[in-house]
Amino acid sequence: MSILHLKQKSEFTATRIPLPSSKSESNRVLVIDALTHGENQISNLAEARDTQTMIRLLKDNPPLFDVLDAGTTMRFLTAFATVTNQKKVMTGTPRMCERPIGILVDALRAIGSDIHYLGIEGYPPLAIHGLPEQTNEKIKIRGDVSSQYISAMLMIAPILPKGLELELEGKVGSRTYIEMTLELMAQFGIKYTWEGNKISIANQAYQPTTFAVESDWSGASYWFSLLACADAGALFLVGLKENSLQGDSKIVEIMDHLGIKSTFNSEGVLLQKQPLKGFKSWDFTHCPDLAQTVAVTCAILGQDAIFTGLESLRIKETDRIYALQQELAKFNADLKEMEPEVFKVIPSVTMPRKVQIHTYEDHRMAMAFMPLVTKTDIFIEDPEVVNKSYPSFWKHCGLLNISMETQS
């Protein structure tokens, strides 16, 4: 295992960061493009391994779809292969086969799909035998586990012979990702209604179009955090839109409380230091991928904040709540559960001379803890894990003249 040593640096000269493209947008438009037989002109697709895996599988169309560790790819391609009447085996890494998929499979079975598990019930690997006949056009699906199940069903809804009415049960998490899916579908000609907890999509055809993927707000969040924790500097993030489809654009509002002023222009957004306003609480239900970034930022800046809406973090690439608690403790901070699903960031009081971060095969653990470099030397285990979503991340750290050394 390699380890990346980043030497402490607390001030940054104004630098342009050429952000990667959005993995969330890319993965959705790839499925939509496949459902229109590739008749679209799509540009600026993400370099992320998840997206590149989807591109390869859709192009090569092997009988076994090995998605590696890509949860979105697993869920989206399960629905895609089913609705296009393909016979596929869906599998992935050992961790991927520990991540649940039962809610999506149950939904697909409810409309008539023929799917069975090859191992443990409710988990990959699984065998798909298509959709012989649509038997039901009205189904219910839990809204509080993963929005990716819902997005997967929505994207295939227009080509179902009877369309689909999806009733969301309970609390709806990551609502902004569902809204992104629907808005992207609308840009490819799909009409829908969302009234109360019911989303209705009639049988209709996607319309070929031209689409350019926006830069990635999830990836942007780490640079907001770095500057917030720094003593001085400014950054310009290229390719972001003020009115974005991506839920993680909420980082602008969050970081406004943590010392970052954001100014947009036609090329992106300028980040500048401003006085710390204080950060008390946030509900991450609709932007769970920001939780690690904000927790580390609060811990460094001395903000004892309340976090809610973290339920989905336990079924990500790792149990991210456990991982955060373990790694925050290394610089005398904590994420303490005060009551069920209510957590409090206990900030660091004293910073060690160096900190070594275990990444748990989770790209976001590596990137979320990078801003510690503003306070101490840090050692990131398995730095290549960032390839899942942001392969050029360490290269972009180099643009800021952060001294880095790889150790075996």
Task: Enumerate the active-site residues.
Answer: 289
Question: How many CA atoms lie less than 13 Å away from 199 in the CB half-sphere?
Answer: 23
H/E stretch holding 103 reads helix 102-110
Residues contacting 27, CB < 8 A, separation 6+? 46, 50, 51, 54, 72, 73, 76
Contact between 60 and 34 (Cβ < 8 Å): no
H/E stretch holding 116 reads strand 115-117
Query: Phi and psi of 105, rounded to 5°?
Result: -60, -40
Compute the distance between CA of residue 330 and CA of residue 12 in angstroms, rounded to an integer. Answer: 25
CB neighbour burial string for 352-378, b if at least 16 within 10 angstroms, e if fewer = eeebebbbbbbbbbbbbbbbbbbbbbb
Q: 4 pairs with which residues across the strands?
A: 380, 406
Closest of 263, 258, 286, 288 to residue 274, by C-alpha: 258
Q: 38 pairs with which residues across the strands?
A: none
Strand 193-195 with 198-201, pairing: antiparallel
- What type of residue sits at position 405? E
Closest of 207, 211, 237, 225 to residue 292, by C-alpha: 225
Query: Phi and psi of 171, rounded to 5°?
Result: -65, 135
